[in-house]
Amino acid sequence: MHRTWHEKHHATLSFGGRVADMVANGMGSWKFIILQTALVILWMGLNLVGFMFHWDVYPFILLNLLFSTQAAYAAPIIMMSQNRQNERDRMHAEQDYKTNKDAKHEIEALAIMLKSLKLIN
């Protein structure tokens, strides 16, 4: 069975690579941005209007800690995914180069064949 360059690359990904790609895809989406914004507004709103129990009073130190922790883990995971994207792009460029090289050889062979046909006629 003939596999495409994308299928070959996907087969070489480790479990960690697949997880990094899923995390990067999730965190780089509007769904994530909207959900996180809603949670922040809810967090801040509940802490500002809560009369009895404030688990994170203004200036929201716990919320800042959560964001810092999220950023500390997200940055290297996203960089891993970007490295894999670079590998994917390199593999795609190599495959395109091979295809172009093969096409050039075929065109040259056809040109030679056409020249020989003109000489016979």
Please write the tens of the pLDDT for every residue from 12-65: 778 888 888 888 888 889 999 999 999 999 999 888 887 677 888 888 999 999
Least confident window among 44-58, 64-78, 79-93 = 44-58
Q: What is the pLDDT of residue 103?
A: 96
Closest alpha carbon to 8 in 80, 95, 78: 95
Residue 56 backbone class (left: φ over 0; alpha: ψ -120 to 50; beta: rest): beta
Q: Is 4 helix (H, G, I), strand (E, B) or coil?
A: coil
Amino acid at 45: G
Listed by start position, the domains of the chain span 14-120
Q: What is the pLDDT of residue 65?
A: 95
Burial of 40 (0-12, 13-18, 19+ CB in 10 A): middle
pLDDT tops 60 at residue 76: yes
Q: For residues 82 and 16, give the distance between their C-alpha atoms in angstroms, rounded to a whole number.
A: 13
